[in-house]
């Protein structure tokens, strides 16, 4: 058995190496073509800094929205039984497979000025969400929330429910048991889901450009700035891509013990 683990058969090793090369070579090309000599100056350009600040702000706000709504949703899916729970769980995961542009169109139909909710918001409060920074937050939260819900639901299913039952026998209410017992038990799962949610929000493109547009300083996040820079300044696009790459690697390094099983 140990010998089999050390040496892979050639018929598997060759496609495995090819698959690794297919995934690594584009990243290597990005690093090779990066303008390292002018990198510090490019990172401090107003357009780059504005896109970076906006991306960090909106991704953090979107993660906050996902935590506020996603943790209770995960608890309901994991701890309660109700008709149609499987359908609800499927609907929660739809944004994972839905093309982001379609998600942006759906957001416009609901929150646009003539949308199901947006028309009422505009008439009652004068609030317009599309093509605003708030619209960016909504678009990012829409595509990122499933990552949080799935992670937290998995943590809840893995947590021992007997601790909650013991808290209930001692007189703790459901909210107190959740706050004092359940939440500390699933804290690693919540943290992992929040980090993945933040990373997904940071890299969101399709739903953002469809629902919020691409306005510098207001809705132009880093992925949108990369898209625009490809037509004007390839070096600027590479610099922004490097920033997103560094963030992605940092996320994987932080979560490697939980998701990759590395030691």
% of the chain surpassing 90 pLDDT? 39
pLDDT attached to residue 105: 95
Confidence check: pLDDT of 261 > 50: no
Task: Sketch out the chain's domains with CATH numbers.
Answer: 58-218 (1.10.3720.10)
> What is the tens place of the pLDDT at every residue in 2-51?
454 567 777 888 898 999 999 899 888 888 888 888 888 887 888 788 88
Segment among 57-61, 191-195, 239-243, 257-261 with least mean pLDDT: 257-261
Q: Which two tokens stand for residue 117?
A: 């909710």
**Per-chain mean pLDDT for the chain:** 85
* Distance between CA atoms of residues 19 and 152, nearest Å: 31
pLDDT attached to residue 237: 86
* Distance between CA atoms of residues 142 and 20, nearest Å: 31
> What is the tens place of the pLDDT at every residue in 182-230?
788 888 889 889 988 998 999 999 999 999 999 988 999 999 998 888 8
Segment among 52-61, 82-91, 179-188 with least mean pLDDT: 179-188
Segment among 72-76, 93-97, 167-171 with least mean pLDDT: 167-171
Segment among 110-114, 195-199, 229-233 with least mean pLDDT: 229-233
Give SS3 for 106: helix
- Residue 243: name the closest of 32, 49, 57, 60 by CA: 49
Quick one: pLDDT band at residue 249, thresholds 50, 70, 90?
confident
Confidence check: pLDDT of 255 > 60: yes
pLDDT attached to residue 258: 55
> What is the tens place of the pLDDT at every residue in 142-155?
999 999 999 999 88
Give the residue with greater pLDDT, 34 vs 134: 134
* Distance between CA atoms of residues 143 and 151, nearest Å: 15
Q: Per-residue DSSP letters for the chain?
A: -HHHHH---HHHHHHHHHHHHHHHHHHHHHHHHS-GGGHHHHHTSHHHHHHHHHHHHHHHHHHHHHHHHHHHHHHHHHH---TTHHHHHHHHHHHHHS-HHHHHHHHHHHHSTTSTTHHHHHHHH----TTSHHHHHHHHHHHHHHHHHHHHHHHHHHS-THHHHHHHHTT--HHHHIIIIIHHHHHHHHHHHHHHHHHHHHT--HHHHHHT---TTTT--HHHHHHHHTTT-HHHHHHHHHHHHHHHHHHHHHHIIIII---
pLDDT attached to residue 256: 60
pLDDT attached to residue 210: 94
pLDDT attached to residue 38: 82
Confidence check: pLDDT of 263 > 70: no
Confidence check: pLDDT of 262 > 80: no
% of the chain surpassing 70 pLDDT? 93
Tell me the C-alpha to C-alpha distance, in Å, between residue 119 and each of 83, 114, 127, 249: 32, 5, 9, 41
């Amino acid at each position: 058995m140990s010998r089999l683990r050390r040496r892979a058969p050639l018929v598997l090793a060759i496609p495995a190496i090819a698959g690794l090369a297919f995934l690594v070579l584009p990243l290597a090309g990005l690093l090779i073509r990066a303008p390292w000599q002018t990198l510090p100056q490019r990172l401090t350009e107003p357009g780059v800094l504005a896109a970076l600040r906006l991306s960090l702000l909106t991704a953090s706000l979107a993660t906050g929205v996902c935590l506020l709504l996603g943790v209770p949703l995960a608890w309901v899916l994991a701890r309660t039984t109700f008709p149609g729970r499987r359908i609800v769980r499927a609907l929660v995961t739809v944004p994972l497979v839905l093309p982001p542009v379609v998600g942006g169109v759906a957001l416009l139909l609901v929150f646009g000025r003539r949308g199901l909710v947006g028309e009422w918001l505009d008439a009652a409060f004068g609030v317009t969400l599309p093509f605003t920074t708030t619209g960016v937050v909504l678009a990012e939260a829409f595509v990122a929330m499933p990552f949080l819900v799935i992670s937290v639901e998995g943590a809840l299913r893995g947590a021992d429910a007997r601790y909650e039952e013991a808290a209930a026998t001692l007189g703790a209410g459901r909210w107190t048991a959740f706050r004092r017992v359940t939440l500390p038990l699933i804290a690693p799962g919540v943290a992992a889901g929040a980090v993945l949610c933040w990373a997904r929000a940071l890299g969101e493109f399709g739903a953002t450009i469809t629902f919020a547009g691409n306005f510098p300083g207001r809705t132009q996040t880093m992925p949108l700035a990369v898209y625009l820079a490809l037509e004007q300044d390839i070096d600027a696009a590479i610099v922004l891509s490097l920033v997103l790459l560094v963030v992605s690697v940092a996320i994987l390094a932080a979560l490697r013990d939980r998701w990759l099983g590395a030691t």
